[in-house]
Structures are given as C-alpha cells and as structure tokens.
Amino acid sequence: MIKKMRIEAGLTQNELARMIGVSQAHIAKIENEKVDPRLSTINKILQVLLESGGKRCSEIMTRNVISAKPGDTVEKVSRLMNKYAISQIPIIDGKRVVGTVTEESIIRNLSPTIAEEKVEEIMEPPLPTVPENTSINVVRPLLESHPGVLVTRKGEVVGIITRSDLLRVISNIM
C-alpha cells in the first residue's frame, strides 16, 4: 500500500526517506514488509504521501449539488434529504449561499408546524467554501467542525465535499 501511494505521489524511496527523516533502505524494507515500522513512522509516511498526492477538491467533490431556496418549506427540504440520502442542504438565494439546513437543525426546531415553516427560519450559517483547485488537506480540518464544504468556481457552487467523500478517498487509497 505504501509503495503504491508513494508512486502515485511521484516520489522516489530516497525522497520519501529524506522527507520523514529515515534512510532509503528503511523505506525499502517497509515497502517489502521486511520490517514492522513504528506507528510514528507510518504516521509521518502517510502524512507526507497524502500531502504529496495533491488531490484537489475538484477530484473528490460531489457535483450537481442539491440545494434549496430560503422560501422553501422544511417539508420540501426534508423530502430532498430523504430522497438523496443527504444530511445537509445549502440554501442558495440567486447565486449566493445564505445558509445551510441540516438534519440537526430540523430536529432542533421540531414543532407541530415545522413542515410548513420556511427553511430561512431554521437554517444555520452557510457551509465554508473553497475554490475547486484547493487541496483536500485544507478541507480535512474544516470537516472536523462542519458537515460539509462547498466547492466553487468563479464564485458559483459547483460541488460539495462531505465527510463521506473523504472516507471514500481514504478507502480507495487503502
């Protein structure tokens, strides 16, 4: 796995070894499974390889973002969330992202009349946005505190990255 990731990142064993502070021979032994490296060494290798891999948001984002308007009802948004199995929907007014509705925001505002309420009444602040050429390494920490990150091109939303997208990338690497 490490050898495959190193090659995909365009690094030689010598370059990888220099970047993490071990010998090239040690990298060769790890790749050939002749030695069991320390966890700290594996973590350094993975950090370097994931950063060097240079995946961009445009490569992993989900395109055709499902969105809603501020005047849409909570019922309409709930149906969209169920239909597409998503847990958040950006609220867009024209081309401007004005908020987000999440499963949590709906549950937090449950009432006998919630279905008829407009999403602008329960929406949360907008998700963070990044340009499509942004490295996924920038997105990773954003996903620790937000359910998703919107991806833009010339100020227009062209995709979304959620924790599920990041997990899919990791599972494809391993």
pLDDT on residue 53: 55
* Element of type H or E holding 87: none
81 and 20 housed in the same domain: no
Kindly list the distances between the CA atom of residue 85 and the CA atoms of 63, 95, 114, 161, in Å, as whole numbers in the listed order. Answer: 15, 24, 20, 15
What 3-state DSSP class applies to 86?
Answer: coil
Buried b (16+ CB within 10 A) or exposed e, 2-19: beebbeebebebeebbeb
Name the amino acid, one letter, at 11: L
State the greatest distance between any 2 C-alpha atoms of the chain, in Å, as a whole number: 67
18-22, 61-65, 84-88, 168-172: the lowest-pLDDT one: 168-172
* Element of type H or E holding 168: helix 163-173
pTM over 0.85: no
Q: How far apart are CA 152 and CA 133, in angstroms?
A: 9
pLDDT on residue 1: 76
Q: Which of 36, 53, 70 is the last residue of a domain?
A: 53
pLDDT on residue 56: 80
Contact 91, 99 (CB under 8 A): yes
27 and 63 housed in the same domain: no
Q: Which of 10, 36, 53 is the last residue of a domain?
A: 53
85 and 166 housed in the same domain: yes
Q: How far apart are CA 26 and CA 10, in angstroms?
A: 19
Confidence of residue 110 (pLDDT cuts 50, 70, 90): very high
Range of the domain at 164: 58-173
As for how many domains the chain has, the answer is 2
Q: How far apart are CA 32 and CA 26, in angstroms?
A: 10
- Characterize the bridge pairing of strands 88-93 and 96-102: antiparallel
Whether the predicted pLDDT of 5 surpasses 60: yes
What's the pLDDT tens digit per position in 11-21?
A: 789 888 888 88
149 and 67 housed in the same domain: yes
What's the pLDDT tens digit per position in 29-70?
A: 999 989 988 888 888 888 777 665 567 888 889 999 999 999
138 and 81 housed in the same domain: yes
Q: What is the mean pLDDT of residues 112-141?
A: 90
Q: What is the mean pLDDT of residues 81-110?
A: 95
